Amino acid sequence: MAKRKPTIHEVAHLAKVGIGTVSRVLNNHPSVRPETRNRVLTAMANLGYSPNPHARRVAGGKSYTVSLVLPVASTEFYSRLLEGIEHILAEERYEIALFPILSPSRLERYLESRSLAYQTDGLLVSSQGLAHLLPNQKFPTERPVVLVDAYSPRYDSAFMDNRLGGQMAALHLAQFPGAMFAIQVQEELDEVLKNTVGQERIEGFREGLKKAGKSLPSSHVFVSRFSAEGGRLALQHFLRLSKPPFNIFAGADLLALGVLEEAERQGLKIGEEVRLLGFDGHPWTAAKGLSTLAQPIEEMGAEAARMLLERIRGYKGSPRARRFEPTLVVRSSTQTRSVYAD
Amino acid sequence: MAKRKPTIHEVAHLAKVGIGTVSRVLNNHPSVRPETRNRVLTAMANLGYSPNPHARRVAGGKSYTVSLVLPVASTEFYSRLLEGIEHILAEERYEIALFPILSPSRLERYLESRSLAYQTDGLLVSSQGLAHLLPNQKFPTERPVVLVDAYSPRYDSAFMDNRLGGQMAALHLAQFPGAMFAIQVQEELDEVLKNTVGQERIEGFREGLKKAGKSLPSSHVFVSRFSAEGGRLALQHFLRLSKPPFNIFAGADLLALGVLEEAERQGLKIGEEVRLLGFDGHPWTAAKGLSTLAQPIEEMGAEAARMLLERIRGYKGSPRARRFEPTLVVRSSTQTRSVYAD
DNA sequence: TTGTGGTTTGGAAGCGCTTTCTTTATGAAT
DNA sequence: ATTCATAAAGAAAGCGCTTCCAAACCACAA
Scored b (16 or more CB within 10 A) or e, B277-288 reads bbbbbbeebeeb
Task: Assess if residue A104 is contained within a domain.
Answer: yes
Kindly determine whether the C-beta of residue B116 is less than 7 Å away from any atom of nucleic acid strand D: no
Q: Contact at 8 Å (CB) between B109 and B103?
A: no
Angle at alpha carbon of residue B94, lines to B90 and B98, rounded to 5°:
95
Cis peptide before A217 (omega within 30 of 0): no
Q: Do B74 and A73 touch (CB under 8 A)?
A: yes
Q: Please give the backbone phi and psi of residue A184, each rounded to the nearest 5 degrees, phi first.
A: -105, 130
Instruction: Report the phi/psi class of residue A200: left, alpha or beta, with left for phi > 0 and alpha for psi in -120 to 50.
Output: alpha
Q: Looking at beta carbons, which residues of chain A come within 8 Å of B86?
A: 113-114
- Do residue B259 and residue B133 come from a single domain? no
Half-sphere CA count of B149, side-chain side, radius 13 A: 29
Q: A230: buried, middle or exposed (CB in 10 Å: 19+, 13-18, 0-12)? A: buried
- In A, minimum Cα distance to B2 occurs at A142
- Do residue A96 and residue A151 come from a single domain? yes
pLDDT in tens, chain B (342 residues): 345 689 999 999 999 999 999 999 998 888 889 899 999 999 999 999 989 989 999 998 888 889 888 876 667 888 889 889 989 998 888 888 888 777 666 666 666 666 655 678 888 988 765 655 555 444 555 788 899 998 888 899 999 999 999 999 999 999 999 999 999 998 655 444 556 889 999 999 999 999 999 999 999 999 988 888 889 999 999 999 999 899 999 999 999 999 999 999 999 999 999 999 999 999 999 999 999 999 999 999 999 999 999 998 888 899 999 999 999 999 999 986 544 444
Helix runs in chain A, H state only: 8-15, 19-26, 34-47, 53-60, 76-91, 104-118, 162-173, 197-211, 228-241, 253-266, 284-288, 297-312
A76 near B CB under 8 A:
yes
Size of interface A-B (CB pairs under 8 A): 95
Q: B19: buried, middle or exposed (CB in 10 Å: 19+, 13-18, 0-12)? A: middle
Per-residue pLDDT at B157? 94
Average pLDDT for chain A: 87
Q: Contact at 8 Å (CB) between A90 and A309?
A: no
- Do residue B99 and residue B35 come from a single domain? no
Q: A339: buried, middle or exposed (CB in 10 Å: 19+, 13-18, 0-12)? A: exposed
Q: Contact at 8 Å (CB) between A199 and A184?
A: yes
Q: Contact at 8 Å (CB) between A276 and A257?
A: no
Specify the nucleotide whose C1' lies closest to residue B20 (CA). Answer: D10
Q: Give the Å distances, CA to CA, from B323 to B74, B135, B301, B303.
A: 25, 23, 12, 10
Separation between Cα atoms, residue A196 and residue A193, nearest integer Å: 9
Q: Looking at beta carbons, which residues of chain B come within 8 Å of A90?
A: 113
Per-residue pLDDT at B99? 83
A5 near B CB under 8 A:
no
Half-sphere CA count of B24, side-chain side, radius 13 A: 15
Q: Which of A326, A329, A324, A278 is nearest to A301 (CA)?
A: A324
Flag whether pLDDT at A119 surpasses 50: yes
Q: Do A103 and B52 touch (CB under 8 A)?
A: no
Helix (H, G, I), strand (E, B) or coil at A108: helix
Q: A93: buried, middle or exposed (CB in 10 Å: 19+, 13-18, 0-12)? A: middle
Per-residue pLDDT at A340? 43
- Do residue A135 and residue A183 come from a single domain? no
- Do residue B26 and residue B137 come from a single domain? no
Q: Which of A38-47, A101-110, A248-257, B149-158 shows the lowest mean pLDDT across its residues?
A: A101-110
CATH number at residue A27: 1.10.260.40
- Do residue A184 and residue A284 come from a single domain? yes
Q: Give A70's pLDDT tier (boundaries 50, 70, 90).
A: confident
Task: Assess if residue B56 is contained within a domain.
Answer: no
- Do residue B215 and residue B333 come from a single domain? yes
Q: What is the DSSP string of B236-250?
A: HHHHHH--S-EEEEE
Q: Do A101 and B74 touch (CB under 8 A)?
A: yes
Q: Do B100 and A98 touch (CB under 8 A)?
A: yes
- In A, minimum Cα distance to B102 occurs at A74
Per-residue pLDDT at A60? 87
Task: Assess if residue A2 is contained within a domain.
Answer: no
Per-residue pLDDT at B114? 65
Q: Which of A70, A54, A72 is nearest to A119 (CA)?
A: A54
- Do residue A45 and residue A83 come from a single domain? no
B105 near A CB under 8 A:
no
Task: Assess if residue B83 is contained within a domain.
Answer: yes
Separation between Cα atoms, residue B96 and residue B65, nearest integer Å: 6
Q: Please give the backbone phi and psi of residue A136, each rounded to the nearest 5 degrees, phi first.
A: -50, 135
- The parent domain of residue B146 ranges over 61-160+298-324
CATH number at residue A107: 3.40.50.2300
Interatomic CA–C1' length for residue A5 and nucleotide D16, angstroms = 11
Separation between Cα atoms, residue B113 and residue B289, nearest integer Å: 46
Task: Assess if residue A260 is contained within a domain.
Answer: yes
Q: Give residue B116's identity as a one-letter amino acid code.
A: L
Q: Do B79 and A113 touch (CB under 8 A)?
A: no
Q: Looking at beta carbons, which residues of chain B come within 8 Å of A57?
A: 54, 58
Task: Assess if residue B2 is contained within a domain.
Answer: no
Task: Assess if residue B1 is contained within a domain.
Answer: no
Dmax (CA) for chain A in angstroms is 79
Q: Give residue A141's identity as a one-letter amino acid code.
A: T
Q: Give A250's pLDDT tier (boundaries 50, 70, 90).
A: very high
Interatomic CA–C1' length for residue A32 and nucleotide C6, angstroms = 14
Angle at alpha carbon of residue B128, lines to B122 and B134, rounded to 5°:
40
Count of Cβ atoms closer than 10 Å to residue A170 Cβ:
25
Domains of chain B: total: 3
Task: Assess if residue A236 is contained within a domain.
Answer: yes
- Do residue A17 and residue A129 come from a single domain? no
Q: Which nucleotides of C are covered by protein (CB under 7 A)?
A: 7-21
A64 near B CB under 8 A:
no
Helix (H, G, I), strand (E, B) or coil at B212: coil
- Do residue B178 and residue B278 come from a single domain? yes
Separation between Cα atoms, residue A78 and residue B325, nearest integer Å: 34
Kindly determine whether the C-beta of residue A319 is less than 7 Å away from any atom of nucleic acid strand D: no
**C1' of nucleotide D13: residue with nearest CA:** B59
Q: Contact at 8 Å (CB) between B245 and B177?
A: yes
- Do residue A267 and residue A312 come from a single domain? no
Per-residue pLDDT at B115? 62
- Do residue A315 and residue A331 come from a single domain? no
Pairing mode, strands A65-70 and B327-329 = unpaired
Q: Which of A19-33, A105-119, A297-311, B144-158 shows the lowest mean pLDDT across its residues?
A: A105-119
